[in-house]
Chains A and B, each alone.
Chain A
Amino acid sequence: MSNFTRCAACRYLRRRCCGDCTLAPFFPSTNPTRFAYVHRVFGASNVARMLQQIPAEQRRQAADAIALEAYWRVQDPVYGSVGVISRLQREINAAQRELAETQAHITLYAARAQSPTTQFDPSI
């Protein structure tokens, strides 16, 4: 009895999963949602074509990136991963502002720490 199970892609597309299926290494049957999102956004043939154009050692990273982009697009159909980029840029701006304020406070505290000694110097 063969223990071979179809990959998530072939199961979704209802086709036989042969041994050299391009998508099988990246879309295992344990996570069917991952391929469902990818197929919905990019399409199976587009993904297979994109992966084939990439060197074999980088295909896993590419498949993960494609899966992430598809996930974000499904979560936010209008902006997708661009919405994530915008949100991160807003966070960076807020963090930079906060850092600048904190560093200004540090400077103020440091100045205040020195000023009481000069203020109360009896020789002046």
Chain B
Amino acid sequence: MHIVCNAITWSRVLRLCFFSESTIKLIFHFFPLLKPLPVTALNSHALIHRPYCALLPHLAVFPSLIRKVMGGNSPCASCKLLRRRCTKDCIFAPYFPSDDPHKFAIVHKVFGASNVSKMLQELPAHQRADAVSSLVYEATARMRDPVYGCVGAISYLQNQVSQLQMQLAVAQTEILCIQMQQEPPTLASDQQMVDADHNNPFVVNDNLGAVPQMMNFGSSSSSSGNIAQDPLKREFLWA
């Protein structure tokens, strides 16, 4: 049975399909041509036998359109993984978008969603993005190296710092030796050397006081502390 009637319009059809008035208004807003159009034989057959078929191309667009217009978004990666409804105030949503599910998957695997949520809630909003980035980095390092994680990289860097400090100490000792070999010139010639060096842009601190300052640099740079030498960390590690 075909319905060919000018009185049947798309608004009646949509109401028959149980669309609400607000949704109908939205549909007509985006598809204004539908407003005056009656249902014709061309599309009524599909309507009778499968009422929703004629609307399928539009229906496929509607959910995303309606969500966008009503302000709703697709669930974030965390809510997708946890299979829960993504609310407007979801704490993960700004940092774990749905287009990168792997990011949250790693963090959830290493830290757990509830722990991450607690950590983020304890932080001010402007620091949460950095916290998430560092958590992702740590989780990735832990997945790559299940035994040492980030600590492996830290050990390597600390070794580098130690080696550089050793080389620096050797170089500074060498300078001291060279300076001692060049002594003892008279005080007048010392002053001439210092004055000449002030005009030399290559020399930063060429006076007898520079060497002790440079020697002190090594001790000031050891503030990071080797893991094995820091007493607090040693006690913490080995109970």
Point out the residues of chain B lying under 8 angstroms from A62, CB to CB.
146-148
Min Cβ gap B91→A in Å is 15
Interface string of A73-114 (1 = CB under 8 A from B): 100011111111101110110111011011111101110110
Min Cβ gap A85→B in Å is 6
Min Cβ gap A12→B in Å is 14
Min Cβ gap A114→B in Å is 11
Point out the residues of chain B lying under 8 angstroms from A69, CB to CB.
138, 142, 149-151
Q: Is the CB of A42 within 8 A of B164?
A: no
Secondary structure at the A interface, as helix, strand, loop or mixed, is: helix
Interface centre among A31, A98, A110 (most CB of B within 10 A): A98
Min Cβ gap A88→B in Å is 4
Q: Given A82-B134, A101-B204, do A58 and B147 touch, yes or no (CB 8 Å)? A: yes
**CB-CB contacts below 8 Å: B127-180 with A:** 127, 130-131, 133-135, 137-138, 142, 146-154, 157-158, 160-161, 164-165, 167-168, 171-172, 174-175, 178-179
Point out the residues of chain A lying under 8 angstroms from B122, CB to CB.
77
**CB-CB contacts below 8 Å: B99-133 with A:** 110-112, 114-115, 119, 122-123, 127, 130-131, 133
Give the residue of B134, B161, B175 whose beta carbon is less than 8 angstroms from that of A95.
Answer: B161
Q: Given A43-B112, A66-B149, A109-B179, do A30 and B224 touch, yes or no (CB 8 Å)? A: no
Point out the residues of chain B lying under 8 angstroms from A71, CB to CB.
233, 236
Q: Given A46-B110, A68-B227, do A79 and B239 touch, yes or no (CB 8 Å)? A: no
Name the residue of chain B whose CB is nearest to the CB of A35.
B239
Residues of B in contact, count (CB < 8 Å): 56
Is A13 interfacial (CB 8 A cutoff)? Answer: no
Point out the residues of chain A lying under 8 angstroms from B168, CB to CB.
95, 98-99, 102
Q: Given A43-B111, A77-B122, A103-B171, do A85 and B202 touch, yes or no (CB 8 Å)? A: no
Is A41 interfacial (CB 8 A cutoff)? Answer: yes
Interface string of A53-75 (1 = CB under 8 A from B): 11000100110111111010100
Min Cβ gap B158→A in Å is 6
Point out the residues of chain B lying under 8 angstroms from A45, CB to CB.
112
Is A16 interfacial (CB 8 A cutoff)? Answer: no
In whole angstroms, what is the CA distance A96 to B36 when docked? 77
Give the residue of B110, B123, B239 whose beta carbon is less than 8 angstroms from that of A31.
Answer: B239
Extra contacts, 11 of them, besides A65-B147, A69-B149, A102-B168 (Cβ < 8 A), are A41-B119, A42-B115, A46-B111, A61-B147, A64-B151, A73-B138, A84-B224, A98-B214, A99-B168, A106-B174, A108-B202
Name B's A-contacting residues (CB within 8 A). 110-112, 114-115, 119, 122-123, 127, 130-131, 133-135, 137-138, 142, 146-154, 157-158, 160-161, 164-165, 167-168, 171-172, 174-175, 178-179, 181-182, 202-204, 206, 214, 217, 221, 224, 227, 233, 236-239
A and B contact pairs by CB, cutoff 8 A, 17 listed: A30-B239, A50-B142, A65-B148, A71-B236, A77-B119, A82-B133, A85-B150, A88-B154, A89-B157, A95-B164, A101-B204, A108-B202, A108-B203, A109-B175, A109-B179, A113-B178, A113-B181
Closest 7 CB pairs of A and B: A31-B239, A95-B164, A88-B157, A65-B151, A82-B134, A102-B171, A81-B150
